[in-house]
Amino acid sequence: MPAFRYVAVDTAGTTHRGTMEAASEARVIESLQRKGFIPLKAEPDRGSGFAAQFLTLDIGGGGLGKGDVANITRELATMLGAGQNLDAALRFLIETATSKRVIAIMGRVREKVRGGSALAAALSAEPRSFSKLYVSLVQAGEAGGNLTDTFERLATLLERQRSLAATVQSAMVYPTLLVITAVGSITLLLTKVLPQFVPLFEENGASLPTATKLLISIGDITANDGPWALLALLILGFIGWQALKDKRVRRWADGMLLRIPIVGGLIRETLAARFSRTLGTLLLNGVSLITALGIARETLGNLAAVDAVDWAISRARSGAGVAQPLSERRVFPPRMIHLIRLGEETAQLGPMALKTAEIHEEQTRISVQRLVSLMVPAITVVMGVAVAFIIGSLLTAMLSLNDLAG
């Protein structure tokens, strides 16, 4: 039975660490809860050898990663919800962290808090780790005296964002590997297999089929000029990457992305989920609408969507609401616009925005699954046709040699 390392606190706030053999992490958590503990971490025990040290090695620089921030937020929500004060919660984070970067950054935050600084101010001093959205929510939570609920909502927000991103990334792994395999297989046939038969064809003086001649020419070009073509693509990619730093070019490119069939729809669903969850979380934490819109726009990453939100902000200042200005720009899906309008009409914009996010997050997952289900067969068919064409052309040429010998 596998062993799991756990970290938990009791009702007195004492931290407990240890290992436990169980069938799964869920069983460890259940066992700790039955003993009256509040479980905070439960993960497979990798031991203390070189491999374990390598797996937990901190090779990054600068601020905290999104995963670290999400984990810190969830632990703070758990500790504060268990009745611990802020200093005890921060001390726990530092004592249980396995990353030197987390220890250093959260140590600085704790020192500022112990020195009389507000938590939001201490977090804002670490802009590479904690975003404007994060700091604003904490600031609103401190002002409203509901810091525990704030960290709970923040943890949910960050975990949903991480889950959505992981869904898209993991779904695209297999099609990407399939494309690489297809390109590699076809390149190998053209540059290594087919050239082996060229001397045989030349010695017999056979008149090769047009398809075989074409493939031999493509193979020669690939073998001789392929590295240069790859270098040219890398240079063009670098030039394109530099060009995207210009906001006009980036705005045009982002707008074109939204118009691509299937892919554009997936991007719109992702933007809708990200925008509505951020907006709803901010509004429920007492942030004003204009401020919430201004913060939510920073999380989008698509300038066409940012422009749409900017337009909504300018119109909302004059009392026009949010849904109508967003619908005029036709960036976000109609479903999101309709639900946002419903939230405005019922004075429940915050809760409705969160419900909208759940709908679009699920729609994004479904869209990703559909896209992958279309891509995998399409790539397989194209690869099969290409390989069949190469083998067929080679066999046709071989048959022409038999005819010549007869």
d(C-alpha 345, C-alpha 338), whole Å: 11
Instruction: Specify the CATH architecture of the domain 1-57.
Output: Roll (3.10)
**Least confident segment among 13-27, 161-175, 296-310:** 13-27
Of the candidates 338, 379, 372, 374, the residue with the CA atom closest to the CA atom of residue 356: 338
Contacts of residue 91, defined as CB under 8 A and 6 or more positions apart, other chains included, come to 110
Predicted local confidence at residue 284, as pLDDT? 85
User: pLDDT grade, residue 386 (50/70/90)?
Assistant: confident
pTM equals 0.66
Between these two residues, 77 and 29, which has the higher pLDDT value? 77
d(C-alpha 145, C-alpha 160), whole Å: 25
**Least confident segment among 30-39, 307-316, 394-403:** 394-403
Predicted confidence (pLDDT) per residue in 311-354, tens digit: 999 888 888 788 889 898 888 999 999 999 999 889 889 889 98
102 close to 64: Cβ distance less than 8 angstroms: yes
Tell me the mean pLDDT in the region 289-314.
Answer: 87
Residue range(s) in the chain whose domain bears CATH number 3.10.20: 1-57
Position 405 pLDDT exceeds 60? no
Predicted confidence (pLDDT) per residue in 258-291, tens digit: 888 888 888 899 899 889 988 888 888 778 888 8
Which residue is listed with tokens 């705005």?
Answer: 251
Between these two residues, 235 and 161, which has the higher pLDDT value? 235
186 close to 390: Cβ distance less than 8 angstroms: yes
Predicted local confidence at residue 13, as pLDDT? 54
Tell me the mean pLDDT in the region 39-53.
Answer: 57
Contacts of residue 380, defined as CB under 8 A and 6 or more positions apart, other chains included, come to 178
Predicted confidence (pLDDT) per residue in 163-215, tens digit: 878 887 888 888 888 888 888 888 888 888 778 777 777 676 666 677 777 88
d(C-alpha 293, C-alpha 323), whole Å: 12
Predicted local confidence at residue 51, as pLDDT? 42
Predicted local confidence at residue 61, as pLDDT? 47
Mean pLDDT taken over the chain: 81
Predicted local confidence at residue 356, as pLDDT? 92
d(C-alpha 226, C-alpha 190), whole Å: 12
